[in-house]
Structure 1
């Protein structure tokens, strides 16, 4: 019975890996198709925040900051609406949950009153800083783009989930960890959103912001 149970567990893990691999492939095809339908430039709503985002990116990432990807992330999160509030309570341009904003301020040694997700200046600085914090905790052997991919998955769904799935993956490649989505603490029903998040930002939306700065 133990042998049968082990065999069934392995079969289930294999099936999940195949399912997620197919999902990633479908997301890539969708991104390639949708890229042809994108507008040719950033929306007008982004213009008031361009200088603010570029300054924040350069101050925390340096002059080679992936500005196009960071701008695309704001586009994805809120469509550049500083008063945006999601159905689960995420707020502002960068859609910080209040608990995440409070944690980030504490990590930076800031007073809780300084946590203002609906303040565009705070939101952009915090998002850029949090992305950098996540990026620095991704595998250094990965390419810059793959490290940004992992950082974005962490921003969207929690770095701890990615790290747990990395321990379950068939190998240490970024693609293998993607294929392991749903094999640790994260439920597989959340994988479509979490894998689609970096795909949409890096494969599609950052193309709108190449005039702002480097891509990831």
Structure 2
């Protein structure tokens, strides 16, 4: 995968804020997409798909606003950049071939499919640690994760563990980008995921 693709998905974290108190409950807007997300997630990840995790990610990205657009151009529920959307259409021509970032179904499919593509290329000590790395890569690019993990390993940290290990190391991101990237997996997996599980959205990767 070319490095130019790895950094193209920009997240709602910088647009909608990353404070866990921003929304203490599942927003009403989410309910209309619940069945669609469940169907898409199970088709891509199997019947035991962590639907609550994907819902938590959408929550962080766009707060379930299908027409969300960031100042830098990220679009839709999954806040996918146009160049990334074009790449996804090439990688998944049957399901994402027609680029429609403001189509909720397309956007949910893009988020779930890209997470799966990343997961196939990332090893973790367990499912939770691996998915934290998936989310870091969705936010900042797989190339950055590879560099951070290499640095962590060189410093004696466990390269298969994100929380408390890889997340402590910065291979060259700006301070702002580093802060956002580290907050992204933690908020999704340690805060929002549990909210969606409690609301009946199914299982999560860390809870």
> TM-score with structure 1 length normalisation?
0.77
Listed as ranges, the matches of 1:29-48 within 5 Å are 34=20, 39=24, 41-48=25-32
Task: Give runs of ≥4 in structure 1 deviating > 4 Å.
Answer: 110-113
What is the aligned partner in structure 2 of residue 178 from structure 1? 167
SS in 2 for 1:204: helix
SS in 2 for 1:114: coil
**Partners in 1 of 2:116 and 2:26 — Cα distance?**
23
Q: Please tell me the root mean square deviation across aligned C-alpha atoms, in Å.
A: 2.2
What is the aligned partner in structure 2 of residue 147 from structure 1? 130
1:85 partnered with 2:72: no
Runs of 5+ in structure 1 lacking a partner?
Answer: 1-30
The offset of 1:189, in angstroms, is 3.1
What is the aligned partner in structure 2 of residue 66 from structure 1? 50
2:188 alignment partner, one of 201, 207, 216: 201
| Greater helix proportion | 1
1:212 partnered with 2:201: yes
What is the aligned partner in structure 2 of residue 76 from structure 1? 60
What is the aligned partner in structure 2 of residue 129 from structure 1? 113
Shift in alpha-carbon separation, 1:213–1:111, aligned structure 2, 3 A: closer
Contact residue 88 and residue 96 of structure 2 kept, 8 A: no
**Partners in 1 of 2:121 and 2:61 — Cα distance?**
22
The offset of 1:34, in angstroms, is 4.8
Shift in alpha-carbon separation, 1:204–1:111, aligned structure 2, 3 A: closer
**Partners in 1 of 2:23 and 2:84 — Cα distance?**
31
The offset of 1:168, in angstroms, is 1.3
**Partners in 2 of 1:54 and 1:74 — Cα distance?**
13
Runs of 5+ in structure 2 lacking a partner?
Answer: 1-17
The offset of 1:136, in angstroms, is 1.5
**Partners in 2 of 1:43 and 1:126 — Cα distance?**
21
Listed as ranges, the matches of 1:84-123 within 5 Å are 84-109=68-93, 114-123=98-107
- Determine which structure has more spread, i.e. the larger CA radius of gyration: 1
